[in-house]
Structure 1
Amino acid sequence: MWDRLNRIFRLAIKELYSLKADPVMMVLIIYTFTIAVYTVSTGAKFEVENASVAVVDEDRSMLSMRLRDALLKPFFREPVLIDAAEIDDGMDAGRFVFILEVPPKFEEDAIEGRRPSLRLDIDATAMSQAGNGASYIQSIIMQEVAAALPNAVAPQPINLVVSARFNPNLMSTWFAAVMQVINNVTMLSVILTGAALIREREHGTIEHLLVMPVTSGEIMLSKIVANGLVIVVASVLSLLIVVERLLAVPIAGSIGLFVFCAVLYQFSVTSLGILIATASSSMAQFGLISMPVLIVMNLLSGSTTPMDSMPRWLQYVMQLSPSSHFVALSQAILYRGAGLGAVWPQILALTIIGSAFFAIALIRFRRTLADAR
């Protein structure tokens, strides 16, 4: 037993030296967990920020001016006054995401209680901004009208108090930063292990391993341990330095529990990388095969869109993917501060799926080594 562990350890050290000698992979790892996390988190935002808005003010009253002045930065740019004839051209050219139309005698009708209508045109090609911005503008209008005409607006029957937990300011950066790290763990785990195997084959060093007193299982475990260790260390450093320090995103839960789950996750995704590599004859073919697999795993894992919004049958299918369980437990730990008692079902699922992936990959890997002999 100790001899086997010693052989796996020495083979893993060899893998680390091979990775160190590959500058392209080293740059990819550093870029993926630093610049990529920072730029995506700060650039791809879901909340409304600096949205272009125009106002067609046919009333020119104090109330209409108050509504226009209430559309403030950083949510909206300074509103642009336009004529009704410019609406179609402005929307067609994409100059405005929102156009608010105030009809004539708006203030007079509001004071008299005739419930006048406002029209809000939205460029829905900017989907996330359109949905959130419409809610923002609706809320702003209701607040301003209620403040300007307290006697003309009927009081609300209830007072609804909204409390947003885990992300009180509803900042997309808090969500995107952590999820970008999680997605990068999946992507690089597959790429590094698959590339390591193909690199052995292209450099001819796989034949050297075959004449050594090591088994196929030991060779495969060494690749999983070495590349998985690099990914876990890089992801933890990214969380602590880039996410928590640079982006000021609070990490609510235990980093130690996350590391344990990430190590467990490595056995499934790195095994998947080896499985894809055994079906590939070159690095280019490996990239073409792994690309659609990674896209599906990331987009349908719950890191981009909620699992509940997917069709029921697809939710069941994605339970066979380790990425969906890893995303669920990572969100529970890092966002909500969940402990082991809350995430043990996902840990159990990762263990079962990882064991299945490892067994299938090992069978394929043994066949590949047998063909190489």
Structure 2
Amino acid sequence: MRSTNLANIYRLGVKELWSLWRDPMMLVLIVYVFTASVYTAATSMPETLHNAPIAIVDEDVSALSQRITSAFYPPQFTLPAMINYRDVDPGMDAGQYTFALVIPPNFQRDVLAGRSPAVQLNVDATRMSQAFTGSSYVQQIFVGEVNEFVKRYRGTEALPVELALRARFNPSLDRAWFGSVVEIINNITLLSIILTGAALIREREHGTIEHLLVMPVTPTQIMLSKVWSMALIVLVAAFLSLNLMVRGALGVPIDGSLALFFTGAALSLFATTSMGIFLATLARNMPQFGMLLMLAIIPLQMLSGGTTPRESMPEIVQNIMLIAPTTHFVELGQAILYRGAGLEVVWQQFLALALIGTVLFFLSLARFRKTIGQMA
């Protein structure tokens, strides 16, 4: 009897794989989210300062002003455009520059004399991400160049304490390392919900669910077949993406155990595929499923700690999101792939995913039985 149940689950799962193979739109979606989407997330993160256009008005034309000008270079900034003061406002109105630095006359003389000359930095704040990040960049570069220049002419007393900054796990602070891995973690959740929910709705729309109801299979077998088949597709796609896109195309080093990570991913998929079936039982068609998906996936991705640290969220939100599988999946994924953590570090997240997945599976199974009971 047990072997018959397993055989039914296997054959039904194979049927799901063939149905997916004959759905070109779903295949395109799978390829896109694990290739172009990962590459875009890694190379075009909003907070990254990349080729920000800057103009400089040098009214001093001194060694110090030229030193400051030469400090702005790609890839953070474009080569500075040297303009006159009267061209600042027209240039920023036309969107040609995000930053316009105005160095006043006699700037070097006043600095060496110990005075505090005023320097103007104009920022186009409509370019929010560049303006916020770039303003601090410009200030740091400017102050650093002035301090280095002044030390050559009049000595300054060294500070009694020196801060030695060492960045662990990402020494070059390359944002592509963060963006690519987080995108894969997010896409595992997104795609698992879409595939399982779409599989159930596709059967309902094509009328094949009625055929299953007259076969010697149970709702549990039908649901398990959808869970294992769709989870397998997501795991294979994520594995290829992690090795070909993240490690290969983007050159991001992964030091953690991939076997341990994908074991955690499988536990997370057990929960999220069950969630996809639950949403599909609530929706009558694909448009309704898409609306429900948006309501579910946005908080799952935005509040799970992948995009924003959970510590910066209100405490009530942190506590509520502990019941979400994505919170624990993000924690174990970052710990394993970023920091090379072992099972002794992430066992609590594994246990939480197993418990959450079990609860979601039986809730979805109860809803699924009720739905097909109404159809019978």
- What is the TM-score with the length of structure 1 in the denominator? 0.95
Given candidates 200, 204, 210, the residue that maps to 1:201 is 204
Paired letter, 1:154: T
Seq. identity, %:
49
Change (3 A) 1:369 1:315: same
Cα offset, 1:239, TM superposition: 0.1
Change (3 A) 1:277 1:131: same
Cα offset, 1:301, TM superposition: 2.0
Q: Which runs of 4+ in 1 moved over 4 A?
A: none
1:303 aligned counterpart, secondary structure: coil
Q: Which residue of 1 aligns with 2:309?
A: 306
Q: Please list the CA deviations of residues 45-104 of structure 1 after superposition, one character each: whole Å capped at 9, or x if unmatched.
A: 533221111112222222112111211122211112233343333333332222222222
Q: Which residue of 2 aligns with 1:49?
A: 50
Q: Which residue of 2 aligns with 1:321?
A: 324
Q: Which residue of 2 aligns with 1:9?
A: 10
Q: Which residue of 2 aligns with 1:358?
A: 361
Q: Please list the CA deviations of residues 178-208 of structure 1 after superposition, one character each: whole Å capped at 9, or x if unmatched.
A: 1111111111101100011011111111111
Distance of 2:346 and 2:26 partners within structure 1: 33
1:166 aligned counterpart, secondary structure: coil
Distance of 2:106 and 2:322 partners within structure 1: 58
For the pair 1:152 / 2:158, whether they are aligned, the reply is: no
Q: Which residue of 1 aligns with 2:40?
A: 39
- What is the TM-score with the length of structure 2 in the denominator? 0.94
For the pair 1:278 / 2:281, whether they are aligned, the reply is: yes
Q: Which residue of 1 aligns with 2:97?
A: 96
Structure 1 residues 78-89: aligned runs within 5 Å:
78-89=79-90
Distance of 2:89 and 2:349 partners within structure 1: 51
Q: Which residue of 2 aligns with 1:18?
A: 19
Cα offset, 1:153, TM superposition: 6.1
Cα offset, 1:120, TM superposition: 2.3
Paired letter, 2:287: A
Given candidates 181, 185, 199, the residue that maps to 1:182 is 185
Q: Which residue of 1 aligns with 2:218?
A: 215
Given candidates 164, 168, 180, the residue that maps to 1:165 is 168
Superposition RMSD in Å: 1.8
Distance of 1:281 and 1:169 partners within structure 2: 49
For the pair 1:345 / 2:353, whether they are aligned, the reply is: no
**Structure 2 gap ranges (5+):** none
Structure 1 residues 39-78: aligned runs within 5 Å:
39-44=40-45, 46-78=47-79
Given candidates 234, 238, 259, the residue that maps to 1:256 is 259
Given candidates 332, 335, 339, the residue that maps to 1:336 is 339
Paired letter, 2:65: S
Structure 1 residues 97-136: aligned runs within 5 Å:
97-136=98-137
Structure 1 residues 234-253: aligned runs within 5 Å:
234-253=237-256
Paired letter, 1:152: R
Of 170-179 and 296-305, the range deviating more from structure 2:
296-305
Distance of 2:121 and 2:314 partners within structure 1: 32
Aligned residues between the structures: 373
**Structure 1 gap ranges (5+):** none
2:216 aligned counterpart, secondary structure: coil
Change (3 A) 1:121 1:154: farther
Q: Please list the CA deviations of residues 274-317 of structure 1 after superposition, one character each: whole Å capped at 9, or x if unmatched.
A: 01100111112111221232122122222222222222222222
Paired letter, 1:139: Q
Of 103-112 and 310-319, the range deviating more from structure 2:
310-319
